[in-house]
Amino acid sequence: MIPVAKPLIGDEEVDAAARAIRSGWITQGPEVAAFEREFAAFVGAPHACAVSSATTALHLALLAVGVGPGDEVVTVSHSFIATANAVRYCGALPVFVDIEPGTFNIDPTLIERALSARTRAILCVHQMGMPCDLAAIVPIARRRGIALIEDAACAAGSEILWDGRWERIGRPHSDIACFSFHPRKLVATGDGGMITTARAEWDAHLHRLRHHGMSVADTTRHASSQVIFESYPVLGFNYRMTDIQAAVGREQVKRLPMVLDRRRELAQRYLKGLANVRGVRLPVEPVWARSNWQSFCVRIADGIDQRAVMQRLLDEGISTRRGVMCAHLEASYPAGTWTCRPQGRKCDCAPGGCQRLVESERAQDRGIILPLFHQLTNADQDRVIAALRSACG
Ligand SMILES: *Cc1c(COP(=O)(O)O)cnc(C)c1O
């Protein structure tokens, strides 16, 4: 059986977890602080704040830029549901805009008309690790004076051409970027997330918010020769990462350059092996983007049955997944909890579909995510290519 994804975990991670456990300091402590420094250095960000997941990272990032009840946040429906959920945790309304079919990313030309006087932030997504068009989106946010947050959950190691230089996602191109360390992503800590920013005051606020809104860090109090009484100036959360997770994450970041090389090689093999297959459309990597290929999603032509193709591959021992979901099609997103228009006006589209999110819905219903992970052999990948060719050719 060829799985769709598989984390790369070795003895180094096992030893690192054991080291943290043996140290006696197992919750947020020195390993978390070291992981923050090393991850910040890897992406080229001045500050990083480790948290319990990308979902909690997004929640805190939105709070840090001031998103609250009555606000609107422009984002995509075509994403893992956590993206839109984080907006709703703040009491704000997600305003969904459609995507570009080739990159599966937000269509920057649709953003301006989705903005209103209530828009507090834009939440863009680097879907499946493919950088979205920050060079087009950043000026819109700056011009309108609204915050820009990147859902970089999938994008550790992805790069974008910025002022003529290749820079990693998480280097502060926008205001804040949020990463995930779920096992489906390239850096896996079980669960975990990271928030990077250039603004020291946001970073300090994020560090407080993740730790019950507490005025001092446990490590500071522990190391102090003076008695310290903590205070709780803001309402916070327990969104901490543990030192066991951080110790594993530090080893994962060391592996990341090698993992990126292999994934890019595998992606090129798919692009070559599936070129000219009539029923298959390939993902598009713009000239200014270098994906980390967290997922490799093809689109099958109209008239080909998505479920039947996936079943045929499964029968041949190949596991796949449907294209990325659309939040607005889920039962947890009834009318009134989201909109596709500015000023909070209700979507007047037919139930079960939205006329303004056509490409998003097509990407869900036509997309198939193929196996791609570090340990995938060329021979197994050739089996996937052959099976898809015969199912769609
Ligand atoms: C995985 C993912 C998330 C959620 O990450 P968790 O760490 O599991 O909370 C959010 N957004 C996107 C785009 C994702 O792919």
Residues 6 or more apart whose CB falls under 8 angstroms from that of 192 comprise 50, 51, 52, 53, 180, 181, 182, 241, 245, 246, 249
Tell me the chain's radius of gyration from C-alpha atoms. 21
> Ligand 1: distance of its center to the CA of 80 in Å?
6
List pLDDT tens digits, range 153-197: 999 999 999 999 999 999 999 999 999 999 999 999 999 999 999
**Angle in degrees, CA 291, 255, 383, rounded to 5:** 60
pLDDT at 347 > cutoff 90: no
Specify the ligand 1 atom closest to the Cα of 193.
7
pLDDT at 353 > cutoff 90: no
pLDDT at 218 > cutoff 80: no
What does pLDDT average to over the chain? 96
> Ligand 1: distance of its center to the CA of 386 in Å?
31
| Confidence at residue 245, expressed as pLDDT on a 0 to 100 scale | 98
182 lines ligand 1 (CB under 6 A): yes
52 lines ligand 1 (CB under 6 A): no
105 lines ligand 1 (CB under 6 A): no
| Confidence at residue 131, expressed as pLDDT on a 0 to 100 scale | 98
List pLDDT tens digits, range 274-323: 999 999 999 999 999 999 999 999 999 999 999 999 999 999 999 999 99
194 lines ligand 1 (CB under 6 A): no
Helices 11-23 and 243-273, interaxial angle, to 10°?
A: 160
pLDDT at 372 > cutoff 90: yes
Specify the ligand 1 atom closest to the Cα of 192.
7
